[in-house]
């Protein structure tokens, strides 16, 4: 049994993480760390945890206090704040999964350009494994710090990386057109997420400016050994959760639907959470699970590859638990099936 | 006052058409034609018309009977059945807006390949104006038959045609990624449109096989004088109505965001229903209206153009009334503002 | 043509009001009054008005300035602020429809108890007609100030008042169980209206404490000439708009389904917006209209009466225009059909 | 490990049951029984089970064949068909949880009147425990057949039974006003459940005719030892899942909010799945769980009691697993937390 601390438990990724950890036979949540001074119970913050985790409170704890209570930490914090916390915990011997963007990008300059802050832990950036087990399982296994991937990048990298590796699509000119449920925007009320604005509404946002774009570039570039720049357009769909990414790439030569599908099948043959399907998936088919469904088809001059995940599970907290399992040496699917 | 018959009033486009015609000062609906023999009142078929159009019944009428009662007809019928009806009515002196796909494609062979039927009125296919006033207003004005555009094509053609005409984007390699509300699938219950399947769900469908693909090809090709093939992927979003199309094209030369926007502004400066906007629009911003909002931006190596319409109004019944207004010589915006 | 000022145009009732007034042949909106100093255009505030009402700006205007520009005002303001504004405008010769609660309750003490403020215009409270034309048409016709009803009260009073008047149900023990769309909560983002909280969620709120409770008491009491106290429970449903109230009352004697229905039919025989229906209505059947659908049935020991309205139209801005039409002597249905 | 057969796995309760059983450490699903002759895999029928239960197929099996493969069966079948199947399986030594209505009512005449069929297993009706462990745990423990409760009855009985037992509310005049998500209507597409009809819609249905009404009567009557007749109105809300029942009863004497709450707290102090809460719950707070949240308040002359459950879990498949656990002697919460 490992003692676990969660930073930032009051958001949606925090909630999903607590639900998963409550079911995990090897994890005991011993600290919920927050800046709130009034120690609200977690069931006040998340009424869906009433009767489930009534005893736990959000507490304002120092890294020393956390180190006394926990061996492992999940950081669901804003960028910059997260790296600062991670550094403090790692220095006190904890292992950490960081759910922020702080350690995902390997190039400090790119990070500082897109996030507009000085990186608080420059030593570890570039040396931290990217927590997508399907691509970096071995590096994750031995790590004490893992950078949990962004939700959109997960949905774009998993369908495209094997095709790039197999040389079936060209690195140049890739388009990633994605739709997310509104929980992807976090739990803070804002006009764009106000129900009567977001409901019955579908919109593009952050056109050309979303911070997940360089993250996709980097990991896909790593997959094929070439620099590349994707064009990524996120959309907000009127639903709670789920991401569907429809990716368009220039096929190399005659790459057929069958060839695309076969390459994906081969890449994911042994993966516990990825299924290559014969019909276009829906976000609903993977909602509330850590599963991934991928579909590929050649359409005229393009390879079209569609990927569905749950943005809060495989796109955040489920991946975090998957990384936790690998880092701790548990069965990778524990608490996730 | 013109006497109007509506075929296929029991569907969603029929309902929207009746709502618009009920407000139209020059139109009097005198016949609702259907195969239903039991003459249901339209308010039974559409409970939202209770108290609005109580008096009208769906009737099984022959073309001769319709010709006695009406001067103008709207055909909201399945393809093939529609052309048959249109031919019969035109032969009896009525003017017709056909909301089916029967007269949209100009090449009979393409029609028969994509729709899998022999065209019932081969003489008129290829000679019927495509009912997008923003592109073909003059031809519509003098016509007795107009082919009302498909919903997706409207949302793809309006943002792309001016950029092709202006030579700012290349005809090759265009991607149209669209999301529609579920009313786009019609009023017949099917598993994919069953609420607990469609709600909280976002999915691609008809990948590479949707019949609106050749329609987009044709009209965009006409706009730029070159053959082209778009890659079109429709998606189903969990909302009643609206289409948002996010289009990706290769810019010619240095075409900037400003150049793209300026070309669109110029093309639509005098259009009553089209607005070029400075921020990405939402389907909600045009819901229940005949309006179009378009946004353009250069993102890395692509021109990204986003267009929002209401699939049932500008994508179907509003456009039909706009065409009716032009064909009859009324102010184009009558009953539509 | 009457010149119209709208206070509080940035909210949802303001938006609906502007949409209706834009279609009204006798009204010209000449002033949008707000505290915002930066004069945003209304199309910035409501992107759905782009191309529709581009020219108008929100302005911070004094009552004197408004009096120069307008003859009639609609006040969509918070309570207390509203009465203050109404008094200032009435003193300058304008006619006013007040959409706040300030003049609805006739007893100043009840108002001050439920709203927790001193009434800013005590002379007019108790002397202002309640703007439900179906009950108070004559008083509204001659008035210079009308108190526009609350959304829930409209949906509870219309189905119950005729049955109380006819002596078919008892005044004691009435239960009103209502569900509203989220636009009923206004346009200010709050946690309870955050999409991922409100979507896929149905909840009761304000149990026993909602301010519309005394308003229902008062008007129903007036209808039957007896003091009464209803038990009112509002619920939040995951939809944009609409109210459905399911009302339970003790029938007097043998009052059957037929008797209940007949009394409602008789009461509303000449009403342009009220339809008594034979099957339970849905909010969707009246959405985006000023219409009301009512259904009644005897179930065991209770009379069950169900009423559907659109909360923003018949429950707010449509009723306001209906009152405007009556006060100005226009046809009552102008701009509302 | 017990071998389990599921009848009717293609519906929503079947899907939820399979999800729960897949996680149950003591259950192995060995047969999915269906009339479909083409042996579809369960992952074709439920795409969300792709990768989860790929190996299982729906098979048309005789009771003898099922008896060879399974020790326990869950019947998710239409009424009448269900009892016939249950009788056949019980005769072959299996234990059964029946999720249909066939064994819930204890009076055969009432069953036959409300369901319009002759009961196929009259010997067992009236002798089968009602599967609500919170009320009938001991009887369930020893049973080989359990009648799983209706979804609405669960949401009405749990809040009301303790108050009736405690003498705090009167048996006469109880009103139960409930809203359900659309999955409650099953998986067969019908017009009322077609997305564009059900979305943005809230409606009452089955007013005074719903078959769960006599079920509520019976169990509440049993709780207080008096015959009673509730007035029950179900509503359809635009969401996938969840039931919220708002119940109105006449308090006995001065029964205060505190007294009502205390009686509920006492009744459910040791229950693993029931929480009495201080603020009105939302269906979302219990979605995807077997949990129940109850809130009580005295409002004027009525006791108002609100109860939220997930219609598919505590209202169907979760309760079935809870009963399974009791019948088999497992920890009651196995696979449910």
Q: In this structure, what CATH number is given to the domain that contains residue A187?
A: 3.30.360.10
Under DSSP, the state recorded for D24 is -
Domain holding B48, by residue range, is: 2-128
**Domain check: are D163 and D63 in the same one?**
no
Nearest-CA distance from C180 to chain A in Å?
A: 12
Residues in chain D: 337
**Domain check: are C97 and C239 in the same one?**
no
Q: Which residues of B touch C274 (CB under 8 A)?
A: 51
Of B50, B284, B337, the CB nearest to C48: B284
Q: Give a yes or no: residue C323 inside a domain.
A: no
Residue C129 in contact with residue C140, Cβ under 8 Å?
yes
Please report the pLDDT score of residue C109 as a whole number: 97
* Whole-angstrom distance, CA of residue B245 vs CA of residue B183: 16
Q: How far apart are the first and last CA of chain A?
A: 19
Number of C-alpha atoms within 13 angstroms, CB side, residue A259?
14
Of D22, D23, D275, the CB nearest to A50: D275
Under DSSP, the state recorded for A32 is E
The segments of chain C whose pLDDT lies below 70 read: none
User: Where residue D308 falls among pLDDT bands split at 50, 70, 90?
Assistant: very high
Q: Give a yes or no: residue C304 inside a domain.
A: yes
Q: pLDDT per residue over B70-109, tens digit each?
A: 999 999 999 999 999 999 999 999 999 999 999 999 999 9
**Domain check: are A92 and A227 in the same one?**
no
Q: pLDDT per residue over D223-270, tens digit each?
A: 999 999 999 999 999 999 999 999 999 999 899 999 999 999 999 999
Query: Contact A237/B179, CB-based, under 8 Å?
Result: yes
Query: Contact A194/C183, CB-based, under 8 Å?
Result: no
Query: Contact D300/C237, CB-based, under 8 Å?
Result: no
Residue A335 in contact with residue A23, Cβ under 8 Å?
yes
The A-side interface with C (CB below 8 A) comprises 12, 181-183, 187-191, 193-196, 198-200, 238-241
What value, to the nearest 5°, has the Cα angle with vertex A41 and ends A39 and A46? Answer: 125
* Whole-angstrom distance, CA of residue C242 vs CA of residue C291: 11
Split into its structural domains, chain A has a count of 2
Of C48, C285, C337, the CB nearest to B50: C285
Nearest-by-CA chain A residue for D287: A48
DSSP-assigned beta bridge partners for residue B274: B292
**Domain check: are A115 and A167 in the same one?**
no
Q: Which residues of A touch C240 (CB under 8 A)?
A: 195-196, 199-200
Q: pLDDT per residue over C268-309, tens digit each?
A: 999 999 999 999 999 999 999 999 999 999 999 999 999 999
* Whole-angstrom distance, CA of residue D62 vs CA of residue D33: 9
Question: Chains that contact A by 3+ CB pairs under 8 Å?
Answer: B, C, D
If we measure between CA atoms, which residue out of C90, C49, C25, C66 comes closest to residue C321?
Answer: C25
User: Where residue D62 falls among pLDDT bands split at 50, 70, 90?
Assistant: very high
Q: Give a yes or no: residue D74 inside a domain.
A: yes
Residue B324 above 90 pLDDT?
yes
Residue C292 in contact with residue C308, Cβ under 8 Å?
yes
Nearest-CA distance from A311 to chain B in Å?
A: 13
Residue B37 above 90 pLDDT?
no
Nearest-CA distance from A44 to chain C in Å?
A: 13
Query: Contact A199/C199, CB-based, under 8 Å?
Result: yes
**Domain check: are B171 and B292 in the same one?**
yes
Residues A324-334, mean pLDDT to the nearest whole number = 98
Q: Give a yes or no: residue A124 inside a domain.
A: yes
User: Where residue B337 falls among pLDDT bands split at 50, 70, 90?
Assistant: confident
Please report the pLDDT score of residue C54 as a whole number: 80
Q: Which residues of B touch A175 (CB under 8 A)?
A: 175, 177, 248, 302
**Domain check: are B123 and B221 in the same one?**
no
Of C22, C50, C288, the CB nearest to B277: C50
Q: pLDDT per residue over B225-279, tens digit each?
A: 999 999 999 999 999 999 999 999 999 988 999 999 999 999 999 999 999 999 9
Q: What are the start-end ranges of the H helices in chain A?
A: 12-22, 42-45, 63-69, 81-90, 108-115, 133-141, 151-165, 195-198, 212-224, 257-267, 318-328
Q: Give a yes or no: residue A322 inside a domain.
A: no
Q: Give a yes or no: residue D321 inside a domain.
A: no
Residue B57 among the catalytic residues: no
Residues A189-213, mean pLDDT to the nearest whole number = 97
**Domain check: are A179 and A283 in the same one?**
yes
Please report the pLDDT score of residue D99 as a whole number: 98
Q: pLDDT per residue over D110-131, tens digit each?
A: 999 999 999 999 999 999 999 9
Query: Contact C231/D248, CB-based, under 8 Å?
Result: yes
Average pLDDT, chain D: 97
Q: What is the three-class DSSP state of B165?
A: helix
**Domain check: are C184 and C114 in the same one?**
no
One of B86, B151, B247, B307 is an active-site residue; which one? B151
Q: What is the three-class DSSP state of B297?
A: strand
What value, to the nearest 5°, has the Cα angle with vertex C256 and ends C253 and C260? Answer: 100
Residue B59 in contact with residue B34, Cβ under 8 Å?
yes
Residue B286 above 90 pLDDT?
yes
Domain boundary (C128, C162, C192) is at C128
Query: Contact A238/C199, CB-based, under 8 Å?
Result: yes
Query: Contact A208/B240, CB-based, under 8 Å?
Result: no
If we measure between CA atoms, which residue out of A270, A316, A310, A267 comes closest to residue A291?
Answer: A310
Q: Which residues of C touch A199 (CB under 8 A)?
A: 182, 195, 199, 238-240
One of D76, D86, D151, D307 is an active-site residue; which one? D151
Nearest-CA distance from B282 to chain C in Å?
A: 9
- Cβ contacts below 8 Å, chain C against chain D, sum to 155
Nearest-CA distance from D259 to chain B in Å?
A: 39
Active site residues of A: 151
**Domain check: are A274 and A155 in the same one?**
yes
**Domain check: are D180 and D232 in the same one?**
yes
Query: Contact B240/D198, CB-based, under 8 Å?
Result: no
User: Where residue A59 falls among pLDDT bands split at 50, 70, 90?
Assistant: very high
* Whole-angstrom distance, CA of residue B154 vs CA of residue B162: 13
Give the start-end residues of each E strand in B202-319: 203-204, 231-236, 243-249, 274-276, 292-299, 302-309
Query: Contact B240/D195, CB-based, under 8 Å?
Result: yes
**Domain check: are A114 and A11 in the same one?**
yes
* Whole-angstrom distance, CA of residue A35 vs CA of residue A18: 18
* Whole-angstrom distance, CA of residue C74 vs CA of residue C239: 27
* Whole-angstrom distance, CA of residue D162 vs CA of residue D214: 19
Q: At what angle do helices A318-328 and A12-22 cross, to 10 degrees?
A: 50
What value, to the nearest 5°, has the Cα angle with vertex D116 and ends D112 and D120? Answer: 60
Nearest-by-CA chain D residue for B237: D195
The D-side interface with B (CB below 8 A) comprises 12, 181-183, 187-191, 193-196, 198-200, 238-241
Query: Contact C297/D208, CB-based, under 8 Å?
Result: yes
Q: Which residues of B touch D240 (CB under 8 A)?
A: 195-196, 199-200
**Domain check: are B118 and B156 in the same one?**
no
Q: Give a yes or no: residue B337 inside a domain.
A: no
Query: Contact D238/B199, CB-based, under 8 Å?
Result: yes
Residue for token pair 């003091």: C227
Q: In this structure, what CATH number is given to the domain that contains residue D90?
A: 3.40.50.720
* Whole-angstrom distance, CA of residue B227 vs CA of residue C208: 68
Of B231, B239, B301, the CB nearest to A302: B231
| DSSP state string for A77-107 | --TTHHHHHHHHHHTTT-EEEE-SSTTT-S-
Query: Contact B50/C289, CB-based, under 8 Å?
Result: no
Q: Give a yes or no: residue D223 inside a domain.
A: yes
Query: Tokens in use for C107?
Result: 């007893």
């Amino acid at each position: 049994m490992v003692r676990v601390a969660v930073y930032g438990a009051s958001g949606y990724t925090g909630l999903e993480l607590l639900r998963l950890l409550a079911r995990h036979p090897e994890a005991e949540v011993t600290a919920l760390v927050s800046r709130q001074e009034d120690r609200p119970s977690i069931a006040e913050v998340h009424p869906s945890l009433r009767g489930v985790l009534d005893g736990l409170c959000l507490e304002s704890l120092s890294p020393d206090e956390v180190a006394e209570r926990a061996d492992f930490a999940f950081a669901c914090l804003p960028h910059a704040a997260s790296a600062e916390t991670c550094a403090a915990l790692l220095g006190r011997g904890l292992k950490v999964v960081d759910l922020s963007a702080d350690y995902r990008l390997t190039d400090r300059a790119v990070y500082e350009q897109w996030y507009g802050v000085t990186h608080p832990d420059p030593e570890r950036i570039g040396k931290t494994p990217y927590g997508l087990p399907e691509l970096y399982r071995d590096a994750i296994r031995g790590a004490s710090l893992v950078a949990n991937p962004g939700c959109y990048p997960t949905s774009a990298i998993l369908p495209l990386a094997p095709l790039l590796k197999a040389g079936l699509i060209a690195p140049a000119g890739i388009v990633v057109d994605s739709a997310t449920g509104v929980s992807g925007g976090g739990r803070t009320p804002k006009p764009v997420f106000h129900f009567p604005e977001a409901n019955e509404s579908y919109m593009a946002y952050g056109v050309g400016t979303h911070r997940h774009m360089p993250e996709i570039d980097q990991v896909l570039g790593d997959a094929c050994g070439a620099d590349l720049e994707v064009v990524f357009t996120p959309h907000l769909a009127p639903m709670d959760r789920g991401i569907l990414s429809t990716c368009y790439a220039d096929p190399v030569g005659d790459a057929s639907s069958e060839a695309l599908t076969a390459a994906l099948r081969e890449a994911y043959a042994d993966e516990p959470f990825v299924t290559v399907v014969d019909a276009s998936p829906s976000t609903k088919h993977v909602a509330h699970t850590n599963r991934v469904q991928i579909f590929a088809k050649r359409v005229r001059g393009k390879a079209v590859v569609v990927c569905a995940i749950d943005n809060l599970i495989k796109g955040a907290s489920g991946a975090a638990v998957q990384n936790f399992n690998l880092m701790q040496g548990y069965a990778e699917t524990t608490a996730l099936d």
